[in-house]
């Protein structure tokens, strides 16, 4: 069997997951449809229902994040819009592609890649693609024993069906990737969009050991081809992609038993996690409902789910009674008091405003006005009845459309997503433009599932939090339990975010670095029309090392600025800038006495003002930054600190010299601020001459050969430190706690 092998290179690559919501989630390699598009661009022709097999492997040097202009023609408003979004970008991307098809068509592709009809681009099109090799290679299948395993030289997509015949040391990450079009519409429209076949493929990282029945090219590169057989595509289409009528699930024995949902983005993942929490509360074994990224609900259980959800919302009688009594006492017009609004709106209001479950003007909600709260069981029963009526009303809200659901790709859409489905994102056309451009078709099953997102999020300090990783659904569920449980005592000390990050780092040694580099921390803060702030953490190997080794040493008296520390780390800002603000606040207390706390910087300065002295625990920030700089020199940091502390001791022994200490500290701080090593050394020499001491050799050597910031900051912290009793140290920490 012959394949056409070609290599591609591009300096940057952005391969956006079409199901990503606002926070731009990307693939680690281009999906099949992207490579298909590049081939047809090279050929200078449109796709005409041809099919061929593809294998995609590749590697990239690193991931960085930058702002990118996204442009798209808005079909509804008939205009070109653009929006800057921060996205993960693959740097120095190399791809190894294999194509298998009939020889005649293979000849056409080979010629087109050697002499393309136009300049070729991938993803955002910032840089052209370099075609580095186009070569015919013979491919054959071989049986590789476990003892003779091979090690992947590239990251690779492996179609799911291949795993029936091969074994790997890594479980991989499952992606649902676009393949060929289902139709050949020349122009897509809102009502007749182009739709894809979708393929389940695992992403395996280079270095993964693999053995079993494998295909190799003539140069011993493994080849992982997609299926070509049209019968297989039709069977897959019937099982997973077929548009179904009414609210029935797709045909097929398995599909008749289950209704399936796919956690391919953070929004659907939060809804799936919410369902799992509800089922867990009802005593169900949640592992039975999850297959990797898929949530599968037995049809009989799905029909009972509205009632189950109502029971979940009404579960805690004692807490409900307290909430009802408190709200009833505050209500001036008792006859207008509605217990439904107190209980259901408390859970749903921020997420699903004006929905069939929250609209206070609907008859099945208004009828509960004036209901006596003396019998809590009766109140719960009446609220549950109204909730079920809300579900029945929800089922009647449908529109006529021929589109397939945006979220599941398989059921017929019955509505368009609006503010009632997830208010923080869909509350207005302005916020819609932040993450989606055209109306989103949705089936009734997925639409109801979104109402469970409120159960998937964790409420903390007026904000809602959710963690999403591109791994299996159970792992995402467990990560969010870290947010909502008190299992880890250090959560309160170090912050919930780092607890989650540490949990991810400790999962397993073979966890793909792609997961660590793409953790989505979703924070929703309710301010008027709700807005969603979405953060994507890039955990590089050096950051992972810093977290594992050092995060437990974070100064507990600086919890007030922990989130700001996190911001500096996430955005790549130097922690030396963080330290400069903190130390400036401590040294220049009088200069900042009228400081208004409006920015991150002012908050850090204010925290510094509250310190009675600079303690050795501030060296944490220097050590953390030096690990990130891949320059760990803890001995030098400690030496510089103790030399600063000793110099202070020399000054404080003599009252006449002690007066000169404060001006010295100001001058050294100014030298650090200006990054003026010469001025710093000049003042250091004068300082040691003043106390008739020789400047320590370790300081001279370090300032000459080592990192100036590392030595200068450690020395200045030592110069401002004090010998304190345990009682005084506690007082210093309490001052900061009170300011927080």
Which pLDDT band, with edges at 50, 70 and 90, does 423 fall under? Answer: confident
The three-point CA angle 571-577-578 to 5° equals 80
Sorting pLDDT into bands at 50, 70 and 90, what band is 128? confident
Q: Is the pLDDT of residue 666 over 70?
A: yes
* pLDDT(58) > 90: yes
Percent of the chain surpassing pLDDT 90:
39
Percent of the chain with pLDDT over 70: 77
More confident residue, 100 or 229: 100
pLDDT (0 to 100) of residue 190:
46
pLDDT of residue 230: 41
pLDDT-wise least confident of 257-261, 292-296, 533-537, 661-665: 533-537
Average pLDDT over residues 670-686: 91
Q: List the one residue out of 549, 554, 553, 475 whose CA is nearest residue 516.
A: 475
Residue 5 has pLDDT above 90, yes or no: yes
Q: Is 508 exposed, middle or buried (0-12, 13-18, 19+ CB in 10 A)?
A: exposed
pLDDT surpasses 70 at 596: yes
| Domain 2-240 part of CATH 3.30.70.2660 | yes
Name 411's bridge partners.
244
Across 440-448, average pLDDT: 92
Least confident segment among 230-234, 524-528, 551-555:
230-234
What tokens were used for 437? 């451009």
Burial 47-59 (b: 16+ CB within 10 A, else e): eeeebbbbbbbbb
CA angle at 31 for the pair 25 and 36, rounded to the nearest 5°: 145
Alpha-carbon dihedral 679, 680, 685, 688, rounded to 10 degrees: 140
More confident residue, 256 or 410: 410
More confident residue, 632 or 285: 285
Q: Mean of the pLDDT values across residues 567-591?
A: 90
465-479, 489-503, 623-637, 680-694: which range is least confident on average?
489-503
Q: What is the band of 111 on the pLDDT scale with cuts at 50, 70, 90?
A: very high
Mean pLDDT estimate for the chain: 81
Query: Rounded mean pLDDT of 279-299?
Result: 93
Token representation of residue 732: 């210093």
Phi/psi-derived region of residue 481, left when phi > 0, alpha when psi is between -120 and 50, beta in every other case = alpha
Q: Is 73 left (phi over 0), alpha (psi -120 to 50) or beta?
A: beta
Asked if 9 and 396 touch (Cβ cutoff 8 Å), the reply is no
Least confident among 22-26, 225-229, 333-337, 556-560: 22-26
Q: Taking the model in full, what pTM does it have? A: 0.68
Give the distance from CA 668 to its chain's centroid: 41
Cβ(709)–Cβ(629) below 8 Å: no
Q: What is the pLDDT of residues 224-280, one digit of tens each?
A: 999 865 444 444 444 444 444 444 434 344 556 899 999 988 889 999 999 999 999
Residue 607 has pLDDT above 90, yes or no: yes
Residues 131-183: tens digit of each pLDDT:
989 999 999 999 999 999 999 999 999 998 898 899 988 778 888 888 887 66
pLDDT at 435 exceeding the cut of 80 = no
Rounded to whole angstroms, the Cα distance separating 610 from 731 reads 11
pLDDT recorded at residue 479: 82
What is the predicted pLDDT for the residue at 404? 84
367 has pLDDT over 70: yes
Average pLDDT over residues 579-583: 96
Burial class of residue 485 (count of CB atoms within 10 Å of its CB; 0-12, 13-18, 19+): exposed
pLDDT higher than 50, residue 470: yes
Structure tokens given for 517: 């580099």
- Average the pLDDT over 419-440 and give the result: 59
Out of 382-386, 536-540, 600-604, 705-709, least confident range:
536-540
**Among residues 22, 12, 90, which one has the least CA distance to residue 536?**
22
Q: Where are the domains of the chain?
A: 2-240, 316-396, 457-550, 554-720
Q: 174: left (phi > 0), else alpha (psi -120 to 50), else beta?
A: beta
Give the whole-angstrom CA distance, residue 250 versus residue 240.
7
Tokens 């803890």 identify what position? 634
Write a three-state SS string for 421-435. CCHHHHCCHHHHCCC
pLDDT in tens, 176-215: 888 887 665 544 454 455 677 888 899 998 889 999 999 9
- pLDDT tens-digit profile of 23-57? 567 888 999 999 999 999 999 988 888 889 999 99
**In this model, does residue 12 exceed pLDDT 90?**
no
Give the relative orientation of helices 619-628 and 708-719 as an angle to the nearest 10 degrees.
170
Q: Which residues contact 136 (CB under 8 A, 6 or more apart)?
A: 2, 3, 4, 5, 106, 110
513, two tokens: 């670095």
Average pLDDT over residues 429-437: 46
What is the reported pLDDT for 538?
Answer: 58
Residue-level pLDDT at 107: 92
Poorest-pLDDT segment among 551-565, 660-674, 726-740: 726-740
């Amino acid at each position: 069997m012959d394949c056409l092998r070609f290599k591609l290179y591009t300096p940057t690559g952005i391969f956006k997951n079409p199901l990503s919501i606002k926070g731009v989630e990307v693939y680690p390699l281009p999906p099949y449809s992207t490579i298909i598009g590049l081939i047809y661009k090279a050929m200078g022709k449109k796709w005409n229902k041809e099919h061929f097999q593809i294998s995609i492997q590749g590697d990239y040097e690193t991931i960085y994040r930058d702002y990118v202009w996204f442009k798209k023609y808005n079909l509804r408003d008939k205009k070109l819009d653009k929006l800057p979004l921060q996205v993960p970008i693959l740097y120095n991307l190399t791809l190894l592609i294999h194509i298998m098809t009939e020889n005649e068509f293979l000849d056409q592709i080979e010629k087109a890649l050697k002499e393309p009809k136009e300049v070729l681009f991938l993803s955002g099109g910032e840089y052209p693609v370099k075609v580095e090799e186009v070569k015919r290679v013979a491919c054959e299948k071989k049986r590789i024993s476990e003892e003779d395993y091979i090690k992947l030289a590239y990251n690779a997509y492996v179609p799911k069906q291949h795993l029936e015949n091969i074994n790997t040391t890594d479980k991989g990450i499952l992606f649902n990737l676009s393949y060929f079009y289902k139709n050949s519409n020349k122009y897509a429209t809102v009502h007749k969009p182009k739709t894809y076949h979708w393929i389940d493929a695992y992403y395996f990282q280079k270095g993964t050991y693999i053995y079993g029945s494998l295909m190799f090219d003539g140069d011993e590169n493994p080849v992982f081809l997609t299926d070509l057989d049209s019968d297989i595509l039709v069977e897959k289409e019937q099982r997973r992609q077929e548009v179904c009528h009414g609210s029935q699930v797709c045909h097929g024995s398995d599909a008749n038993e289950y209704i399936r949902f796919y956690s391919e983005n953070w929004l659907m993942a939060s809804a799936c996690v919410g369902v799992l929490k509800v089922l867990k509360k009802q005593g169900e074994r949640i592992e039975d409902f999850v297959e990797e990224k898929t949530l599968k609900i037995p049809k009989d259980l799905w029909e009972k789910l509205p009632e189950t959800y109502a029971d979940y919302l009404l579960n805690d009688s004692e807490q409900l009674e307290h909430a009802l009594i408190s709200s009833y006492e505050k209500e001036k017009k008792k006859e207008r008091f509605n217990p439904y609004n107190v209980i259901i709106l408390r859970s749903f209001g921020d997420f699903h405003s004006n929905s069939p479950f929250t609209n206070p003007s609907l008859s099945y909600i208004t009828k509960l006005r004036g209901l006596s709260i003396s019998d809590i069981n009766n109140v719960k029963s009446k609220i549950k009845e109204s909730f079920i009526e809300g579900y029945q009303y929800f089922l009647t809200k449908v529109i006529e459309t021929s589109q397939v659901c945006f979220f599941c790709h398989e059921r017929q859409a019955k509505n368009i997503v609006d503010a009632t489905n997830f208010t923080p994102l869909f509350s207005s056309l302005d916020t819609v433009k932040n993450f989606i451009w055209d109306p989103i078709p949705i089936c009734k099953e997925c639409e109801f599932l979104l109402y469970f997102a409120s159960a998937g999020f964790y409420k903390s300090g007026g904000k809602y939090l959710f963690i999403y990783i591109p791994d299996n659904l159970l792992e995402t569920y467990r990560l969010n339990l870290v947010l909502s449980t008190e299992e880890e005592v250090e959560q309160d000390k170090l912050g919930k975010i780092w607890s989650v990050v540490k949990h991810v780092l400790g999962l397993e040694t073979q966890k793909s670095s792609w997961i660590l580099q793409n953790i989505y921390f979703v924070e929703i803060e309710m301010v008027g029309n709700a807005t969603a702030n979405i953060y994507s953490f890039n955990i590089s190997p050096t950051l992972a090392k810093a977290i594992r080794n050092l995060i437990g040493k974070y100064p507990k008296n600086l919890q007030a600025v922990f989130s700001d520390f996190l911001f500096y780390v996430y955005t790549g800002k130097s922690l030396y800038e963080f330290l400069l603000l903190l130390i400036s606040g401590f040294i220049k207390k009088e200069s900042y006495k009228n400081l208004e706390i409006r920015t991150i910087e002012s908050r850090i300065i204010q925290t510094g003002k509250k310190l009675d002295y600079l303690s050795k625990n501030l060296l944490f920030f220097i050590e953390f930054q030096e690990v990130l700089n891949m320059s760990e020199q803890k001995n030098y940091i400690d030496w510089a600190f103790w030399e600063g502390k000793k110099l202070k001791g020399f000054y404080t022994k003599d009252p006449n010299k002690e007066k000169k200490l404060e001006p010295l500290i100001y001058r050294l701080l100014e030298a650090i601020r200006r990054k003026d090593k010469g001025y710093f050394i000049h003042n250091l020499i004068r300082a040691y001459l003043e106390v008739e001491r020789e400047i320590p050799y370790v300081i001279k050597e370090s300032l000459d050969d080592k990192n100036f910031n590392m030595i200068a900051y450690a020395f200045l912290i030592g110069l401002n430190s004090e010998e304190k009793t345990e009682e005084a140290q506690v007082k210093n920490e309490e001052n900061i706690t009170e300011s927080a």
